Structure 1
């Protein structure tokens, strides 16, 4: 079970510590828990079961949201002699990240071959469908869009060729997917070379900004295996879709946002 969740088997984990770049835990603010917020230490301090949610490293470099439960172990005299840590992957709240309609020949046409997520063509159809549904329902549209640009894809390509660049894209896509899958109505697609698009079910800038921060932290803590010393450099810009906006107007604004994202020193911004 642990291997299925983290990718690490018994042989690769025995005798090692989490902080040895293995199963590292991070809180919701992106802070490492290995020194001051270790859940196992917390269970020892309170001498009871401690349970909380964290983000954890997968062996392949992406991050995964998990629920951690630490249980103190006692001897026959009820003295605490250690702690066992149980963790499970938090379950998806949505199926719209990779819609089930994308299958067979349709999947080939609308799936990015590198990351195995929806491509630009499918994203366009998804956006048109959401706009149409909003008009039919007469309800205010609730859609925030994030543009996530990986600034150093070219560097990875120069270091290890297209193979390393593709590995970076896979790690990025997997980390984004693992985070947003917990949000109902979320959607992820690859837009351009190193640029991804995320749909979030909200019409509030503050909530979209929170998601941008959450994804930025996830990508900051992700890594490409064997290239851990090179941090993934990402920029995230976002916009809220307004009632009555057309597909053409939204995509034009996204293009402008993407251009700003490419040329700006800001790491996160929501308009």
Structure 2
């Protein structure tokens, strides 16, 4: 379908490119698509995009492959579409991408659609990169995220900014539901993979966070600056959705589904760092007692 010269050009692009026919069967998959998704052409060619290989979701967790697929809609009406979404990497974590679907014509008829996608994550905060590169003791060795020691330094700095400059911020703690059960069923190696998987999803998808760190064995911590209670609730819900939409994909075991509970709070005038963390922890406990897979932010 594609001349050899064009294949060479498309395979030289950093962008991911794939083409589907009218039945949404994948006809072409370039090297850029492999680099972004982890899937090689031989793993995708001949399969259908609605087989949920990439399992695209929007920010609300809606599965685009089943409801609102831009490729399918472009095949129907011939309109070019652009949107932001989150695809699922071969390893299971979520990757934010910008998608563009373009119709392809032959003899005046739409015969295929081409999708071009680019990774849309932002670079890590310079403060963290500088600090973590110089001080390995501040980095969690498993996930590469800032550890609790780093967080303790950082939240004290945020408390000082709040008292002196009236710069509000919020803290959220995320706990993996049934982590002990996962550990017992699948073993420590799988549990470690889940922690690495979530850290990758959070780093690439929760870009408004000042800090994303490893808090305890099965918990992560987030700091957001300048957020209202309403905005904090939306951010925590996004964390929950991105966690639930990340599944550990492996050849030796079935997919391991993930859910999390979130407790969070905006800083108050009479807070100390310890008081703020206690309140967040209490809200996390409430989320767990409600059955998990939910957020408590007030």
Q: What TM-score, normalized to structure 2? A: 0.82
CA distance in 2, matches of 1:36, 1:254: 36
Pairing partner for 1:133 from 120, 140, 161: 161
Flag the structure with more relative contact order, 1 or 2, with Cα contacts below 8 A and sequence separation at least 6.
1
1:12 pairs with 2:36: no
The offset of 1:166, in angstroms, is 0.2
Paired position in structure 2 for 1:202:
226
Instruction: Report SS of the residue matched to 1:52.
Output: strand
Contact 1:223 1:231 in 2 (8 A): yes
Q: 1:155 to 1:20 in 2, by over 3 A?
A: farther
Unaligned stretches of 5+ in structure 2? Answer: 1-31
Distance in 1 of aligned mates of 2:157 and 2:133: 18
Task: Extract unaligned runs of 5+ from structure 1.
Answer: none
Distance 1:35 1:102 in 2: 41
Alignment size in residue pairs = 264
Question: 2:130 — aligned with what?
Answer: 100
Cα shift readout 1:88-110 (whole Å, capped 9, x = no counterpart) = 11131651684322124x1x211
Q: Give the C-alpha shift of residue 30 in structure 1.
A: 0.9
Q: TM-score under structure 1 normalisation?
A: 0.90
Deviation at 1:156, TM superposition (A): 2.0
Residue in 2 aligned with 1:51? 82
Matched, 1:187 2:187: no
Per-residue deviation, 1:214 = 1.1
**Is structure 2 residue 298 aligned with structure 1 residue 268?**
no
Report matched runs for 1:1-271 at 5 Å.
1-75=32-106, 77-92=107-122, 95=125, 98-104=128-134, 106=135, 108-136=136-164, 138=165, 140-181=166-207, 183=208, 186-226=210-250, 227-265=253-291, 267-271=294-298
Distance 1:15 1:96 in 2: 43
Structure 1: distance between partners of 2:34 and 2:99: 15
Say if 2:58 and 2:64, in contact at 8 Å, map to a contact too: yes
Distance 1:231-1:52 versus aligned 2 partners, 3 A rule: same
- Using the alignment, how far apart are the partners of 1:67 and 1:177 within structure 2? 17
Q: 1:228: Cα distance to partner?
A: 5.0
* Contact 1:149/1:261, CA 8 A, preserved across alignment: no
